[in-house]
Each structure stands twice: as structure tokens, then as C-alpha cells.
Amino acid sequence: MRNETKPHAQKNNLRNQFLLDWSLRFYVILIFVFVFAPIVFSVIFSFNSARFPTIPLESFTLKWYETIWADPDVWEAFRNSIIVSVSTALIATTLGFCTAYTDYRYRFRFKSAYLALVLLPPTIPLIIMALAMLAWFSKIGASGQLWSVIIAHSVLTAPFAMAIIRLRLNQMNKDLESAAWNLGASEWRAMREVVFPFCKPAILSALFLTAAVSFDEFAIAWFVSGLNKTVPVLILEIVQGNIDPQVNAIGTIVFLVSMTLVMIAQVFFFLRQNRTSN
């Protein structure tokens, strides 16, 4: 077939292929523009003096940052958010590690039910989880607390931690743990001396990623936090009122925080590939 095509047709084909490839690349860039436009926009307008953000830009200003700096509610919200995301990260990563190790090492009856129980929460719409958590927490008398948010976020993010650590365990030579026992380590000691150090990059990655998810989650936090607003809940309430460029300033800080967390998580996640045991 290919041999029968005439030289100029072939040339045409090549040119078409070339055009197609480049238009596809251009299209990818368009998609990226769409994805990142709101983020970039928010950052730019957080420094723009106009009350209503539009183009052309007005002058550069830090007044929105000054406003939120002076706002005790914002400080309070950030304090709450940090408490929630740090605690969530610790709990979710601990739970995720336990589950990943269990899945790695053991076979038992109802294991698929066990895994479903762990992995399902992220597939359920947040608004449903929010309602269910709200009702449940008020039933057991634990609603409106900061730690209600922590508990709910841990349920939500433990599967992410589990997945990251499980992927790391996949790379662990099956003999490694046995080798530790063989050299005199009890199961607990082998966990501390071998499994845990081996998983360390993944554990760090999981900590940062779960913190990032928790830091941005607003639906459940909105329902169960009561008066203890986290940053996203604060944003939600400001946005409900009117257009306020303060949101751009808070948003920029939030982006900065969560992007940093996600990037650190990814660096740890990819780091492990340099140190894989064959």
C-alpha cells in the first residue's frame, strides 16, 4: 500500500501529518490554558486595585492582602485549617499505612469487602458524605467541633494515603521482610527497621497529599464545622455575599499552600524510583 503512493502524495501526507501533530500540540496547550486560567487570573487580580476584577487592569496594590492580614476571622480560619489538615494527614496516613501493609502481606476471607470499605469514600459525592456526617455527628453528640472535621477528612483521605503507600510496597522485594526476621528481628522490629524505612518516601508523600486535600475540602467542613470555620468555608461564605477581591488574595495564599503541598508530595512520590531494590 505504502509503496504504491506517489512521491508528491507522500509529501502531502507528511505535511498533513506534520500539521496534525502540531495542531494536536496546540490543542493540549489550550486545555492547559483552560485548566490554569482561573488560577492565574485569581493570582493576578489579587494584586489589582479594581473593586470589580476585569480588564484592562488597574494599578498594582497590596490592599486586599492588607485587608485579610488585619482580619481576625481570616487568622482564625487559617489556624483551624492548619490544625485540621495536619491532624488529618497524621491520622489518614497512619490508617493508610496499616491498610496498605495488610493488603500487601495478608490474604484473608472477605478481603475484597475490606478493601472496598477502605477505598470507597472518595467515590461518594462530598455533599452526601457531608449530610451523612452532619446527621451522624449530631446523633452521637459530636457535631460542630473541629475534630468532627478532622474525623470526616480522615475517612475521605485515608484511601489516597493507602494507594500511595501500597504502590511503594509493590516495589519492595518480598524477601526483604523475611530477611529481617531471619536475621533476628521480631515482626514488630522488622516493621520498624525494614518496612517503615522502605516506605518512608511514600509516607511523606501521603502526609503532604492528604494535608492538601484536607486543606481544600469545603463541603463536609461547611456542614460539620459549626462555628469553627476553616479557610475554604470562610471563602464560601464571603463568595455567597458578594464579589470581593479579598477572595483572590485568600485564594492565592490557599493555592500557594496546597500547590506546595502537592508538589512536595509528588517529589517524594517520584523520588522513590531512584532507590528501588531489584
Helix ranges (H only) for 120-170 are: 126-139, 146-170
The Cα–Cα gap between 111 and 39 comes to 42
Residue 263 binds other proteins (CB under 8 A): yes
Residues 71-90 that bind other proteins (CB under 8 A): none
Residue 277 binds other proteins (CB under 8 A): yes
Nearer to other proteins, 60 or 108 (CB): 108
C-alpha cell at 222: 461547611
Stretch that binds other proteins, among 58-66, 67-75, 76-84, 127-135 (CB under 8 A): 127-135
Interface residue with other proteins, options 10, 21, 62, 66 (CB under 8 A)? 21
Stretch that binds other proteins, among 65-73, 81-89, 270-278 (CB under 8 A): 270-278
CB 78, min distance to other proteins, A: 13
Residue 98 binds other proteins (CB under 8 A): yes
Residues 107-126 that bind other proteins (CB under 8 A): 107-108, 114, 117-118, 120-121, 123-126
| Cis peptide leading into residue 201 (ω within 30°) | no
What string of DSSP letters covers 179-238? HHHHTT--HHHHIIIIIHHHHHHHHHHHHHHHHHHHHH--HHHHHH-TT---HHHHHHHH
C-alpha cell at 60: 498594582
Cell numbers 455527628 correspond to: 137
Residue 227 binds other proteins (CB under 8 A): no
Helix ranges (H only) for 70-125 are: 72-105, 111-119
Residue 10 binds other proteins (CB under 8 A): no
C-alpha cell at 7: 512521491
Nearer to other proteins, 79 or 200 (CB): 200
Identify which of 224, 91, 43 has the alpha carbon closest to the alpha carbon of residue 148: 224
Q: What are phi and psi of 255, to 5 degrees?
A: -55, -45
The Cα–Cα gap between 68 and 119 comes to 38
Interface residue with other proteins, options 39, 62, 69, 73 (CB under 8 A)? 39
Residue 165 binds other proteins (CB under 8 A): no
By rule CB under 8 A, what string of x and - marks binding of each residue 169-198 to other proteins?
----xxxx-xxxxxxxxxxxxx--xx--xx
Interface residue with other proteins, options 12, 14, 27, 33 (CB under 8 A)? 27
SS3 content of the chain, % helix, strand, coil (to 5): 80, 0, 20
Interface residue with other proteins, options 89, 146, 155, 165 (CB under 8 A)? 155
Q: What are phi and psi of 155, to 5 degrees?
A: -60, -45
CB 125, min distance to other proteins, A: 2
Nearer to other proteins, 47 or 251 (CB): 251
Cell numbers 485540621 correspond to: 84
Q: Give the orientation angle of helix 246-271 with respect to helix 196-216, to 10 degrees.
A: 160
Stretch that binds other proteins, among 62-70, 71-79, 80-88, 261-269 (CB under 8 A): 261-269
Residues 45-74 that bind other proteins (CB under 8 A): 45, 52-56
Residue 5 binds other proteins (CB under 8 A): no
